[in-house]
Amino acid sequence: MGSAISKQARSLWLQNFSTIEDIRGLLYMRCSRPSDALRNTCRIWIMVDAAEWGMMLTAYVGWERKNQSYSCSHLFGKGILGPESLTLPQKELHILNIGADTSELFRVVLSDWVEEVLVAGDSEIALCCWVGYESVKLNMYNRVRVINIISKLDLDNLFHVSGGDNPAGIGTRVKGIKSQDVYPGSDYLCGKAWMKLSKEDAIKHGSIRPLDQIKLGHEQRKVLRRGIVFDEFEKEDLDVVSVLSVSSMKHLFQRFYTLMRMEL
């Protein structure tokens, strides 16, 4: 005989069922091309975010318009559960890695339609230090993902965005999400206001930051160090080589001295 669920779990399931009923039969226009679009090709924004429980990726299509702004409409969204063993920055790096794979997919499948693919996330550690610094020695988990990201993304099109301006964050706020968050006209379906600006104007207004403009605080540097491999044995190796060299030279001189005495 099964036991009754807790009051907390019951409250959560009631909320979930209510949300499901609210969005039942929901319809919206996706990837709509405005009548004043300057050309048939578009750009794609891929937004990523992670939380303790999981990760979220969402993509938006934008056509440049006559007034020099861009349209913005939802193209694709995916929620992913993250392994509990990973730290939050590692989950941010993992979903950024999936964003790189998704950008490659869009470029191949929609090659005749896409001008450029832009990617943004709100993890300064994953973006600035693990991806941005190629000379840093990373542990295996981080290194494999960074290599994939660098190979598939133009780092000039990779940006940091604050959590409040990241529409992917809507899918990672488990306790705060409401059915209204996915209604037609919502930020999740239409993107944030800055996503209708050109890339250059978005940078100028401070909505997004290129990698070279990201500065880490003291606490963030501590987290960064956990993903870096420090070769403590390098100095010891040099000492060992020196000892071996001295030992070898001593042995060589001893043999030379013995041979010289035999000659005499």
207-237 tens-digit pLDDT = 999 988 876 554 545 545 554 444 443 444 4
**pTM of the prediction?**
0.76
Say how many C-beta atoms besides its own lie within 10 A of residue 6's C-beta.
9
d(CA 59, CA 78): 9
What are residue 110's DSSP bridge partners? none
What does the pLDDT read at residue 95?
A: 93
CATH architecture designation of domain 25-225? 2-Layer Sandwich (3.30)
Evaluate if residue 59 carries a pLDDT over 80. Answer: yes
4-27 tens-digit pLDDT = 888 888 887 888 888 888 888 888
124-179 tens-digit pLDDT = 888 876 676 555 677 788 888 888 998 999 889 999 999 899 999 988 887 777 88
- Judge whether 70 and 63 are in contact, CB under 8 Å: yes
d(CA 50, CA 122): 9
Higher pLDDT, 234 or 183: 183
Length of the chain: 264
Higher pLDDT, 187 or 258: 187
What does the pLDDT read at residue 230?
A: 40
Strands (E) across the chain are located at: 42-50, 54-62, 73-81, 114-121, 158-161, 208-210
What does the pLDDT read at residue 25?
A: 82
